[in-house]
Amino acid sequence: MRVHWEALTNQQRAPADEGFAYFCAPRAKIVFAIQLYLHNHYMRHCDSAGALLTWIFDSLMASEQTHPHIAAGDHEAYMEYALEQARHSPPAPTKFCVGAVLVDADKNEILSTGWSLELPDNNPADPGKTHAEQCCFIKVAQKYNLPEERLCEVLPQNTILYTTMEPCNKRLSGNKPCVDRILALKDCIKTVYIGIKEPENFIDQNVLIVGRQRLQDAGVEVVFIQGMEDRIMKVSLAGH
Ligand SMILES: [Zn+2]
């Protein structure tokens, strides 16, 4: 990818005094100008053309992440979008496929999305498989370079969390449950909309009830969306 002036043909070389003709340059000159620009600005970070293309692709993907427009207060539609996230989660008998969406309720703006195992589990400070709600939080934390528990410094005061399955209150791995993660953000996450209760496949129902109660006791409103249970359960149990 490195461009050497000596290697260029006479046609590609563009003398500075060529004037107007230079701006009417053939395609080779334009390509050269782009190559030179990329070389000067970005190649210092990329050791190969492949790495450069990957960088460009990743940049475009990051800047073009779009969400559907959902009418303000259409909680069923937001839950549908959370279910869409859940479908990305790889099916497995040892987990549920859950999706989550974080929304600024005042501006009706989607802030983050997540699904089970979306992000790697290689954070030594927070080990274990990543849950959907957790992935929502990690993405915002990475964006603002903040620890997860300080996200209320950047999240709106009226943030809603939609999750297809109720946030976990206990993890067999011993890692931090999502209820604890939400409680740490209770000053900005005021409401959690839930698609279904957690099935008792892994955790006793009594523990799950306590999880819901802990949220409500802390002032976090817990609302169950009605009418999508069968479809959400089917996605949740993919791989079981
Ligand atoms: Zn969880």
Tens-place pLDDT, residues 193-222? 999 999 888 877 778 788 999 999 999 999
Q: Do the beta carbons of residue 184 and residue 153 sit within 8 Å?
A: no
Q: Cα(232) to centroid of ligand 1, in Å?
A: 16
Domain limits, CATH 3.40.140.10, in the chain: 75-236
Tens-place pLDDT, residues 119-154? 999 888 888 999 999 999 999 999 999 999 999 999
Which listed residue (6, 80, 84, 133) is catalytic?
A: 133
- pLDDT of 36 higher than 90: no
Q: Cα(173) to centroid of ligand 1, in Å?
A: 11
What's the pLDDT band for 11 if we cut at 50, 70, 90?
very low
CB-based contacts of 134, cutoff 8 Å, min separation 6: 114, 119, 148, 178, 181
d(CA 237, CA 240) in angstroms, rounded, equals 5
**CATH 3.40.140.10 corresponds to the domain 75-236:** yes
Residue found under tokens 């790697």: 120
- Catalytic annotation on 133? yes
Q: Cα(211) to centroid of ligand 1, in Å?
A: 11
pTM metric for this prediction:
0.74
Q: Return the sign of the alpha-carbon dihedral for residues 108, 97, 91, 123.
A: positive
Of 160, 103, 105, 167, the closest CA to residue 132 belongs to 167
- pLDDT of 40 higher than 70: no
Instruction: Tell which wins on pLDDT, 6 or 202.
Output: 202
Q: Cα(43) to centroid of ligand 1, in Å?
A: 40
Q: Cα(13) to centroid of ligand 1, in Å?
A: 60
